[in-house]
Amino acid sequence: MATLTLIGEPFPDVDAEANAAAARDLARAVAVTAPRGCSARLLLARDRPAPQFDTALAQVEAVPLNAAVLPRVWRNGTTARPLDGEFVHATTPLVPLRTRKEEDGSQTSVLVPHALAWQAPELMGPGPARRYRAYVKRAVRLADALLVGTHATATALQERYGAGLDVQVLPLAPPEEYLPHSDAEARRAALGLPPHYLVTNAPLGPCGRLELLFEVLAADPSLPPLVVLTTASAMEQVLAAAPLQLRERLHVIAPAELADAGAALSGAALLVMPQVFIGAGYEVLGALACGVPVVHLGCAAIAELADEAGVAVEEPAELGRALPHLLGDAEGLDRLRVHALDRARSFSWEGVAWQLWELHANL
């Protein structure tokens, strides 16, 4: 009986919580799509709560270490010995790896969700960016299969490691918390969100360009309020950077739960992403699943994920004209919402799981 082990502990970056949820959702899908005689196992740190699966084909196992120490401990190749002879998939580069003989039966596939550590390390911080690069470099050298979520990330890795780098695109799906839920309206009310608003997860700085959105809204009082999804550590900086005249139209939230972020996404008129680069793109996938169109400034990964549900603004200066035009065109906005829902059908964890089983069958 073959078991595909999913590493449930994500690399500790801004997408960590979403990646952890994605690993859980993928484990469930791997079990549902498992060939006869096969199963799934989700590997978690001992201090993580174990999800409940409704099938015996999905099991949860804890490693005897806390989540906080894994990024340091798993750098040592000897920690990969317990996984010798197993089929392993990691949704981030945080995975124990070591050099193995071909005949030992081990198979490890590693997904690199983004290339921020090279493209915009300031969005990660110098320490996390350095560790991310080290883990990816090791995966390039030791993994049996290197995967990415978008062609844009594949291109970034090939620019770094050479055009001959063998990397496969495995489109991801939104975490279950980002899908439409019956309690979304109640969550938005608890967060104090207005009935009509724009939403963004853009950070401050030249790569995040949240300041550009502030300028656009401050210059046009007719635009809806802006909801900024950020982290607790960045809230004060975001509020301090906002113009005074925008404060009453600005809602800066650090979601306590992933489902709160999902509720904020699902209620928005538009997801506005002025970023130059993004992480895994789960917010884009979640917005699509909720029928929310995406406005961006030409970021290759966003354009790839959103496709016809995305509106690309060629120049930052044009954003101030594009937003009121889109919001004022009810018929065009409805078409974009339909495109978003259509595009969302391209992304499912069952589809990811099928491709994973096929990949490991062919390794």
Say what the pLDDT of residue 99 is: 87
Residue 228 β-bridge partners: 200, 252
User: Scanning the structure block, which residue is given the tokens 């040592």?
Assistant: 76
Q: Which residue has the higher pLDDT, 76 or 29?
A: 29
d(CA 94, CA 71): 7
Contacting residues for 305 by C-beta, under 8 A, at least 6 apart = 150, 281, 284, 285, 288
What's the pLDDT at 101? 72
C-beta of residue 34 within 8 angstroms of C-beta of residue 112: no
User: What are the tokens at 177?
Assistant: 């918390």
In order of start, what are the domains of the chain with their CATH numbers?
3-173+348-362 (3.40.50.2000), 177-344 (3.40.50.2000)
CB-based contact 287:340 (threshold 8 Å) = yes
The beta-strand segments (E) located in 298-341 are 310-312
Paired with 42 in beta bridges are 6, 60
Report helix, strand or coil for 226.
strand
pLDDT in tens, 336-347: 999 999 999 999
Check pLDDT > 90 for residue 104.
Answer: no
Residues 53-71 pLDDT 10s: 999 999 999 999 999 999 9
Mean local confidence (pLDDT), 183-197:
97
Amino acid at 304: E
Give phi and psi for 226, each to the nearest 5.
-115, 130
Residue pLDDT, tens place only, 144-172: 999 999 999 999 999 999 999 999 999 99
pLDDT level of residue 103 (50, 70, 90 thresholds): low
102, pLDDT greater than 80: no
Q: SS3 of 140, please? A: helix
Cβ neighbour number for residue 342 with a 10 Å cutoff: 14
Core vs surface per residue 25-55: b (16+ CB within 10 A) or e:
bbbbbbbbbbeeebbbbbbbbeebeebebee
Distance CA 41, CA 31 (A): 8
Does residue 217 contact residue 189 with C-beta atoms inside 8 Å? no
Contact between 214 and 238 (Cβ < 8 Å):
no
Note the pTM of the prediction, 2 decimals. Answer: 0.96
Helix (H, G, I), strand (E, B) or coil at 52: coil
Phi, psi angles (nearest 5°) of residue 267: -95, 0
